[in-house]
Amino acid sequence: MVGGKYLAMGGVGAAGAGVAGTSAYLYGFRGDTLEMRVKNHFKDQPHMRILNSSKREEWNKFRELYSHSRGDKPEGVGKEKIAKWCEDKLVSRDDSSFELVKKWCVIDSRAVHVKAMAEGRKTIPVSGENVTQAWQSAWDSYHAGKASSKLRIEDATFLSEAKEVNTTGGSALQKWCQSKSSKLMYEYLGESDGYEKYHAWCTKE
């Protein structure tokens, strides 16, 4: 009771300070695993899912995206080890791993086109009037910007069908975009910067 009184009063005297310090530690860090911190970080984003088990089926797709992604990764952790690494880190209190856990142990469960629309983009129509013209215009934008851009589409089928003119390029671009539209954000889209390419060439403001 005395300790509780001292804690409520802010910890008076040496004994009170000790109790207050211990209590603050317990209440501040009890259950504060990386999983709890990540949940709190993404609490307003229900589409963000934590992969807290190496058995989660999402790993079947996400491993490939992880394998092909650039940027910071856990040192020495390849695609066959990342699921177990996440499982272990999420139950830990390893503050130094928090940023990597946020990046590689959490997935965006939305479809590619859903994320683009959430960012204020509009998809180019695939039916209705002026569809051919819309995709030829999209091709013209792509063709003008791809040469100096890291967002050049590398898909072999697309390259063979586009033939560098908008009459064939438009339909080739439409086909490529439609093949990516319903993919999930945690899937590998077949080439680097897949979502960024979809955002740039398959949607408009």
Which three-class secondary structure state does DSSP give residue 73?
coil
Q: Give the sign of the dihedral formed by CA 57, CA 60, CA 61, CA 67.
A: positive
Q: What are all long-range contacts of 165-171, with beta carbons under 8 Å and residues at least 24 apart? A: 166/136, 166/137, 166/139, 166/140, 167/136, 169/136, 169/139, 169/142, 169/143, 170/132, 170/135, 170/136, 170/137, 170/138, 170/139, 171/132, 171/135
pLDDT in the model for residue 147: 63
pLDDT in the model for residue 183: 98
pLDDT in the model for residue 31: 55
Q: How far apart are CA 108 and CA 63, in angstroms?
A: 14
Sequence ranges of the domains in the chain = 34-108, 112-204
Q: How far apart are CA 179 and CA 173, in angstroms?
A: 10
pLDDT in the model for residue 119: 98
pLDDT in the model for residue 129: 87
Q: How far apart are CA 154 and CA 123, in angstroms?
A: 21
Q: How far apart are CA 201 and CA 188, in angstroms?
A: 18
pLDDT < 70 regions, the chain? 1-31, 147
Q: Per residue in 59-88, pLDDT tens?
A: 999 999 999 998 899 999 999 999 999 999
pTM over 0.85: no
Query: Is residue 35 within 8 Å of residue 91, measured between CB atoms?
Result: yes
